């Protein structure tokens, strides 16, 4: 689909242009998204791969889960949200209605609307707690 | 054929018999609380067919424990407009005017082996898993509702309004069709469906869930003891939900 290709190109350009958050952006006049840090020590893949391909992993996982009943924690949407949940002032995870939500913080910035959370829970499963280290904020 | 080869075949048959015995004795032990972990790791397998037996003699007319548990498990909160609310289990009360006998029974998706909802779905969203569980893939459902018209059990619901705060294990949303999934996320984790557990907790124990292909599963043994019927068996859809205590 041409539209999809155009979005891909835009995304790729955005990723290349803005690169990894941190030093390269520090003195930049271009506004940058405020993305919350994840609770875990490392993601299921490296950050560059995830920026470009997270939607592919999720799509593969959705078919494996819905049709074939394979439910590994790794690469599941629940797994993503458990690590990437952002706590609010009461240390409860924020929902997709909050601009601080991990997915929203970047998708708002990139102007790519997603409809995952019209059906899927945007918060991690019950029992989630803020990590003592506070790295998830 | 030489005597050695005869011996070899007997040995093989004997070995097979021993293996079968070993496989059938073991799962019966813990089947009441947990399902054999046949689907947990490798995903849905066509070596099992999940099925449900409802004994309507044990099902109390005024009990709705299964419906409440289903609603809690999947977040089926009402909108205050019951006519359009999703309903995964319906409680039917039947009265036989000749004998005066009342029957109460829950009716949900019957998880047919030949599901008409799958036949009519234009996008492939309505599908049957390898282990016989009939589901809607709401990623591809376009909300046309053909499946609702095709289902003779009125088992599916359409979601008319935007939803919020869905359960992590039960994604559901506006514009798609949904229905009983046999609590597929629980079955994949080796657990019983929520309605079956709730029925046991309520003390009625009218529902039995398990593998219809395993002759030693709790559900197969219960089916072997007393005659059962399937609703509208004349349609030849081979439903996985059986009922006992109903007039044939």
Q: Are residues B8 and B88 in the same domain?
A: no
Residue B42, domain CATH? 3.30.70.20
Collapsing DSSP to helix, strand or coil, B240 comes out as coil
Q: Are residues B7 and B72 in the same domain?
A: no
pLDDT, tens digit (0-9, with 9 covering 90-100), for A66-105: 999 998 877 889 989 999 999 988 888 999 999 999 999 9
pLDDT at B13: 45
Q: Are residues B157 and B239 in the same domain?
A: yes
Q: Which residue has the tokens 């095709």?
A: B150
User: What residue numbers bound the domain in which B24 lies?
Assistant: 1-29
* CA-wise closest residue to B91 among B111, B67, B69, B125: B67
Q: Which of B42, B127, B164 sits opposite A67 (nearest CB)?
A: B127
* CA-wise closest residue to B103 among B116, B94, B111: B94
pLDDT at A4: 55
Q: Copy the structure tokens of residue A26.
A: 């520090």
A67 touches chain B (CB under 8 A): yes
Q: Are residues B46 and B144 in the same domain?
A: yes
Q: Which residues of chain B have pLDDT under 50?
A: 1-33, 39-40
Interface with chain A: mutation pick from B42, B43, B127, highest number of A CBs within 10 Å? B43
Domains contained in chain B, number = 2
ipTM for the complex?
Answer: 0.78
pLDDT at A37: 83
Q: Copy the structure tokens of residue A44.
A: 């299921």
B15 touches chain A (CB under 8 A): no
Q: Are residues B80 and B192 in the same domain?
A: yes
pTM of the entire structure?
Answer: 0.79
B172 touches chain A (CB under 8 A): yes
Q: Are residues B66 and B19 in the same domain?
A: no
Q: Are residues B24 and B37 in the same domain?
A: no
B129 touches chain A (CB under 8 A): yes
Q: Are residues B108 and B25 in the same domain?
A: no
Q: Are residues B93 and B135 in the same domain?
A: yes
CB neighbours (10 Å) of residue B42? 12
Interchain proximity B184–A78, CB inside 8 Å: no
Contact in structure between B45 and B37 (CB atoms under 8 Å): no
Q: Are residues B226 and B153 in the same domain?
A: yes
Cα distance between residue B210 and residue B208, in whole Å: 7
Give the A window 46-65 contacts with B, CB below 8 Å. 62, 64
Q: Are residues B12 and B76 in the same domain?
A: no
Q: Which of A69, A95, A124 sits opposite B129 (nearest CB)?
A: A69
Q: Are residues B76 and B149 in the same domain?
A: yes
């Amino acid at each position: 689909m041409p539209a999809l290709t155009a979005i891909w190109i835009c995304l790729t350009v955005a990723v290349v242009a803005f690169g990894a958050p941190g030093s390269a952006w520090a003195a930049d006049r271009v506004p940058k998204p405020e993305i919350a840090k994840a609770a875990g020590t490392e993601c299921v893949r490296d950050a560059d791969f995830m920026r470009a391909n997270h939607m592919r992993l999720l799509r593969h996982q959705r078919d494996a889960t819905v049709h074939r009943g394979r439910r590994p924690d790794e690469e599941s949407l629940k797994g993503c949200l458990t690590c990437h949940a952002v706590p609010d002032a009461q240390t409860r995870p924020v929902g997709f209605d909050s601009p601080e939500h991990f997915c929203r913080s970047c998708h708002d910035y990139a102007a790519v609307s997603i409809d995952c959370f019209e059906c899927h829970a945007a918060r991690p499963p019950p029992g989630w707690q803020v990590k003592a280290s506070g790295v998830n904020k | 054929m030489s005597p050695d080869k005869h011996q070899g075949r007997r040995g093989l048959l004997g070995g097979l018999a021993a293996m079968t015995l070993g496989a059938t004795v073991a799962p019966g032990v813990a089947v009441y609380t947990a399902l054999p972990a046949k689907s947990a790791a490798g995903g849905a397998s066509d070596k099992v067919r999940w099925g449900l037996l409802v004994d309507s003699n044990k099902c109390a007319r005024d009990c709705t424990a299964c419906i409440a548990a289903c609603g809690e498990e999947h977040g089926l909160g009402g909108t205050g407009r019951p006519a359009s609310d999703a309903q995964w289990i319906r409680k039917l009360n039947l009265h036989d005017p000749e004998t005066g006998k009342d029957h109460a029974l829950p009716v949900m998706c019957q998880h047919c082996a030949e599901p008409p909802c799958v036949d009519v779905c234009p996008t492939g969203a309505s599908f049957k898993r390898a282990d016989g569980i009939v589901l809607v893939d709401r990623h591809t459902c376009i909300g046309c509702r053909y499946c609702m018209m095709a289902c003779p059990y009125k088992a599916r619901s359409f979601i008319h309004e935007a939803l919020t705060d869905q359960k992590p294990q039960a994604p559901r949303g506006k514009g798609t069709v949904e229905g009983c999934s046999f609590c597929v996320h629980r079955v994949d984790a080796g657990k019983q469906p929520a309605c079956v557990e709730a029925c046991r907790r309520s003390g009625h124990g009218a529902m039995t869930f398990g593998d219809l292909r395993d002759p030693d599963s709790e559900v197969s043994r219960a089916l072997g003891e007393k005659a059962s019927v399937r609703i509208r068996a004349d349609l030849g859809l081979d439903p996985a939900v059986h009922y006992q205590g109903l007039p044939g």
